[in-house]
A and B are shown apart, each in its own frame.
Chain A
């Protein structure tokens, strides 16, 4: 009987990555940079199509001229492009980027691929805040005037994030506790929202439903400035913590053993997520799909190295909402469908097919 088996498998072919792991890593980084560039280019194209589309059928050249010189084709074109189309197209990109980034960071710090502002109750809370203002006129800040719905939505979303933050400070609270807490918040605010709808008049009810469906028609340059400022502050802040955030995906204990202050990181990120999610939801209402699909597509394309994952989640989120904005205008000419419905209708099938195709790849 031969007992001298060779313990080492004999390689049959030279694997270039095994021969030079550094080369494999460098080429992977190159591919990722190319993907980020490509999707940014897609986003630009989508943005251009978005501002070209709409009632009036103006050509791309006319729209482009008006972008460069507001009065190039008269006051009417200036108003259409600068006061209507541009704010809507830019808001779609900003809100999509905010939701994509917030979803990515929520999934990272809670170690749960289903975490996003919608599933953890932030959007429900914002909807309740808006409904409260519409039905009772009660405001978080008294005498705020016409901004009452937006302000209420913002503070309720922010308050919910603060509750999640408090939950994270509970003794022994881990990522699972926070996710369960978020789900409890989701159901609580949905019940309160249903109560508001029950008490609302016909007119108030239609306003609540419209708000809940999400709409880009509330876009304004003031909101755009605020959103852009927020993104410009928060994205670099998170990017500086890329390595710590990536370590968190290795598990809390491993991250802590690498020297990451997990508790502090989680609080810092929750504050960032709160600001992004609350602002996005207060701008456009409930858009429940972007915070989930943005990070998932980004993860499939570039993995979870946060240096690429976070910016790409924001870019994909922006792209999804920008495409949804185009579709919402073009399905029925002259009718602007609520953006939340469009993102769900076109996004869910695309998302499911992506998941299924990835699964097939893995099984192969």
Chain B
């Protein structure tokens, strides 16, 4: 279940968003952090991998098989994508919305095994108490956990999480990423998560891909990438990679003395 992205180019009309993005082989069970500033092309890369937009050129192979060669259903079975915008006002309970993700294949009727699988996923993420709650009544963080549950329940081979912890408190950030990490290891799936918090990336990711303006600036083992000057240059901050007393790496980031004016797209 190895993922290889090779020279992937994606455009919106005439505007090229991803420029020949390539990665090394991403091994099964690995947790990959996709980092980079706003509008770097992270969501576009996810949408291209998830089949929501067409790549202009390049290849995306999962176990040597092109993702573009898969049928829509087969691709959805193997690749799940959690969009950045989560939450909605549909009159559905949390249980139903997670079941819904599972029921896009496998017939009209709901089987006992499917109900059990949804229950197990809610347990895994420690949210069974939300089961009967309408999704429109959830907080941002709770909605984000339900969105992760919708991905996990499908047991995919490639999981793409677009800023999965942006609305979560510290406890739930650690809890969700720990669970996803465990599931990746257990199920042998490749997880790619877009993260803005470099310390979370340092704690959980096996490898990092640094994107800037649609180009891969750096890719490799987490500590090595975080130690690169490219990190500071990309975010326009001063960074240094430190090690805590417990041996964990963390990024110490500061604004440079003269703050550059940066346009946020």
Contacts and interface: CB of A to CB of B under 8 A. Distances in A.
A231 B91 CA distance: 25
Given A243-B104, A249-B92, A250-B100, A22 B115 contact: yes
A25 B101 CA distance: 15
Q: For chain A, what secondary structure do more than half of its interface residues adopt (helix, strand, loop), or is it mixed? A: helix
Contacts of B99: 25
Interface in B65-93: 72-73, 75-77, 80-83, 85-86, 88, 90-93
Interface string A6-39: 0110010001011111101110100000000000
A326 to B, nearest CB: 30
A7 B171 contact: yes
Interface string B162-178: 00000000010000000
B165 to A, nearest CB: 15
Nearest to A302: B91
Given A18-B131, A240-B108, A250 B93 contact: no
Contact residue range for chain A? 35 or more
Interface in A204-245: 239-240, 242-244
A28 B80 CA distance: 28
27 contacts: A8-B171, A11-B129, A21-B95, A21-B132, A24-B131, A25-B95, A26-B115, A28-B132, A249-B91, A250-B88, A250-B97, A253-B52, A253-B85, A254-B147, A254-B150, A256-B52, A258-B76, A259-B72, A259-B73, A259-B75, A259-B104, A260-B104, A261-B72, A300-B91, A303-B96, A305-B92, A305-B96
Shortest 7 CB-CB distances between A and B: which pairs? A259-B76, A21-B131, A249-B90, A18-B129, A257-B81, A303-B91, A7-B171
Given A24-B132, A25-B115, 14 more contacts: A11-B129, A21-B122, A25-B99, A247-B104, A254-B150, A257-B80, A257-B82, A258-B104, A258-B150, A259-B75, A260-B104, A303-B92, A304-B92, A305-B92
Interface in B121-179: 122, 128-129, 131-132, 134, 137, 147, 150, 171
A123 B150 CA distance: 39
Contact of A257 (B52, B93, B96): B52
Nearest to B133: A17
Nearest to A11: B129
B103 A250 contact: no
B50 interface: yes
A242 B108 contact: yes
B41 to A, nearest CB: 17
Interface string B230-264: 00000000000000000000000000000000000
B11 interface: no
Contacts of B100: 243, 246-247, 250, 258
Contacts of A18: 128-129, 131
Give the interface size class of chain B: 35 or more
Interface of B: 50, 52, 72-73, 75-77, 80-83, 85-86, 88, 90-93, 95-97, 99-101, 103-105, 108, 115-116, 118-119, 122, 128-129, 131-132, 134, 137, 147, 150, 171
A61 to B, nearest CB: 42
Contacts of A257: 50, 52, 76, 80-83
B89 to A, nearest CB: 9
Contact of B129 (A15, A25, A253, A299): A15
B83 A253 contact: yes
A244 B104 contact: yes
A6 B19 CA distance: 47
A259 B77 contact: yes
Contacts of A239: 108
A299 B90 CA distance: 10
Nearest to B130: A18
Contact of A251 (B88, B92, B116): B88
Given A18-B128, A250-B97, A253-B85, A304 B91 contact: yes
Contacts of B137: 362
B235 to A, nearest CB: 27
Contacts of A7: 171
Contacts of B132: 17, 21, 24, 28
B71 to A, nearest CB: 9
Contacts of B131: 17-18, 21, 24-25
A26 B131 CA distance: 12
Given A257-B81, A258-B104, A22 B92 contact: no
